[in-house]
Amino acid sequence: MSALAGQHRRWWKESSVYQIYPASFQDSTGSGTGDLKGIISRVDYLKDLGVEIVWLSPIFESPQIDMGYDISNYTKIHPPYGDVSDVDILKDKLHERGMKLVLDLVMNHTSDQHEWFKESRKSKDNPYRDWYVWKPAKYDADGNRQPPNNWQAHFQGSVWEYDETTDEYYLHLFCKEQPDLNWENPAVRDKVHEVMRFWLDRGIDGFRMDVINFISKDQAFPDSDKTVLPGTEHYACGPRLHEYLKEIGDILQEYDAFSVGEMPCVHDDQEFIRAVAADRGELSMIFHFELMDVDHGSRGKFSPGSWKLSDLKAITDKWQQFMINNDGWNALYLENHDQPRAISRYMHDDPEHRVASAKLLASFLGFQSGTPFIYQGQEIGMTNVPKDWGMEEYKDIDCVEHWKLFKDTTDAATLESLKHEYQRKSRDNARTPMQWDATSNSGFTTGNNPWMRVNDNYPEINAASQVNDPESVFRCYRTVLDTRKAHMDIFIYGDFELVDAANEKVFAYKRTAADGDAALVICNFAAESVEWKMPSKAREVLVSPNGRSLADLEGEVIQLAPCESLVVIL
C-alpha cells in the first residue's frame, strides 16, 4: 500500500517520543539515583523540546539485577524512585501540557523475588507452579545432570537454572534472577491484562513492551543448532505470539492507547507486519534491530564489526518501503537504554565534528516515515563514555558478565580488544547521568556519589548551555520536530525514496506527499567536504544548521561541509 493511496491517520503517528531512564535522569534527593520527583521537575524542559509522549523505562518495584527489567511487583513503584502518587502527579503534569505518559511493560519474565515465583518454586503442586516454565533434568551417559536443552541466555550461560527444592530447572532467557512467565497458562495472561488495565485506568496512555516477541515458546523445547544465541529460533515469534498480541491489542484499542513492541532476534519480516499492520489489531509499532546490529561481528555484539553507509541505506530503505507498502508503522530510533550513543556509533564524536554530527542525526531520523524516539541526552548530543575509563566504571550486567568470561583466561591483546568493544557498544554508554549543567556531577544530583559516573565531557555538553542557544543541538531537534508536524502530509504520511543510493558519503532521501509536494533530506556522513549534485531545484529551505539560503543552492552542484545536513522543499 503506497502512501499515495492514503495512510491510516493516528495520533501516535503524528507524535514524537522521549525516553527517560529514571535512575539517570534527575535526582531530587541527593541520593545519587534519579527519581520520579526529579522527572516531574523537568516536564517543562520536555515541553520545550517539543515531544508529545514521554516513555519511562521500568519504575516498578525491583531488586535491580537488570536495572528494573526484573520486576517484583507490577503495581508498586521501586521505593528509591517514589510511589504511585508520584506517577499520578507526573501523568497530570504532562497531560496539562498536552503530553502523554507511557510505561515500560516487562512481562516476558519477572524477578525471582516476585511473590508468584516465590510460590512457584516451593513445590510441584503449588498453584503458581505453572505460572513459570519448569522442566526435569536430562542425564548424560555417565549419569551427570544436564539442562533440558542447549539454549543460551542473552546474558551468558544456559537459559536453565537448577532449583534443588523441587529437583527441576526453570527457564530464564536473560539472567537467572529473571524467570520467564509461562504465557501458555491462561491465568498468566489474565494477570497481564489486569496489570495493563490497572495502569490504563489510572490514565496512563500506553506501553512499551519489553521483548514482547519472546512470550510464546515452542513447547517441545528442542535443542538448537545455532552458534550465536542458540534457541532464539524457538521463541522469537513463537507459535502463539499473535494470538497473545491480539488479546493485548483488544485492550489497547479500548483505551485508544499507544504501544510499541521490542522485537529482537526476528528474521522473518512478515512477523513484524503481523504485529503492526493496521488491520491486525495488535501493536501500534515495533522496534526492529537491524540498524542496531550493523556493527556487530560474527561472534555477536562484543566482537568487532564494520559497516558502510550503503549498509545503513539498504536497511533504512528496506524498513521505510516495507512499512509504507504494508500499512505498518516504524518506530524510528538510533539510541535507547540498551544502545551506545548515536554520535559515537554512526557519526563523529570528536570536538570538531560532534555538534554537526548530532544535528545531522536529528534530521536523518526525524524526517523518515515513522514515529521518532529520542533518548535522554540525545537531544543535546551526549556521547559514549571516555575511552580511558577502566572496567570498574562499567555497571551493565551484559557487559560485566561477558568480561568475567574472559578476564582471567585470555591474552592481553584480546582483553584490550574487548575493552575497545565495550567502550563502543556497552549499554553503559546510554546510562551515564543526564548532563544538565556544568556544576558538580552535571546537575544530576546534589550528592557526591551518583550511582554511575557522569561522563567527563559534561562541562562542554549540557542542557543549560543549549536550551536558549538557537544554534544548539537542542534547538535543532526542536526545529526538526516542529517542521515534521508543519509538513505532516510529506514527512508523516508521504512516500520515501532513496536518492543517490550508491554514494558512500551522502545519505539523501526524498519524501513525497499524496498531492505531489516533496522534500529532500541531505546528510553528509563524512567528516570532510563533499560535492553533491542536486536532483532538482529547491524552492524553500526548511532546516539548515549551516544557515544556508536558497541563494546558496542556485547551482546544480553544492559543496556540503563536513557532517552537514540540509532539508529543502522541492
The set of catalytic residues is 210, 262
Burial of 246 (0-12, 13-18, 19+ CB in 10 A): middle
Contacts for 538-543: CB closer than 8 Å, 24+ residues apart: 538/568, 538/569, 538/570, 539/568, 539/569, 539/570, 540/568, 540/569, 541/566, 541/567, 541/568, 542/483, 542/487, 542/567, 542/568, 542/569, 543/363, 543/476, 543/479, 543/480, 543/483, 543/567
Per the structure block, which three cell numbers stand in for 356?
554537526
C-alpha grid cell, residue 166: 523441587
For residue 194, count other CB atoms closer than 10 A to its CB. Answer: 11
366 grid coordinates: 526525524
Half-sphere exposure of 271 (CA within 13 A, CB side): 21
Map grid coordinates 488495565 to a residue: 197
| Residue whose grid cell is 553507509 | 309
CA distance 462 to 24: 14
Residues in the chain: 570
**Hunting for cell 508468584 — which residue is that?**
116
Backbone angles phi, psi at 206, to 5 degrees: 155, -170
Task: Enter the DSSP assignment of 189.
Answer: H
Q: Residue 145: what residue type?
A: R
| Cell (9 digits) for 439 | 556544576
Which distant-in-sequence residues (6+ apart) come within 8 Å of 478 by Cβ?
A: 48, 49, 50
Nearest to 295 by CA among 336, 263, 339, 265: 339
Query: Which residues in 228-353 belong to E strands, given as ranges?
Result: 258-262, 285-287, 331-332
SS3 for 81-144, per residue? HCCHHHHHHHHHHHHHCCCEEEEEECCCECCCCCHHHHHHCCCCCCCCHHHECEECCEECCCCC
Q: How many whole angstroms separate alpha carbon 118 and alpha carbon 387?
A: 42
Kindly state the helix (H) or strand (E) to which residue 163 belongs, with its residue range: strand 160-163
Q: Mind giving me the DSSP string for 345-397?
A: HHS--STTTHHHHHHHHHHHHHTSSSEEEEETTGGGT--PPPTT--GGG---H
Query: Which cell numbers hold the place of 185?
Result: 497458562
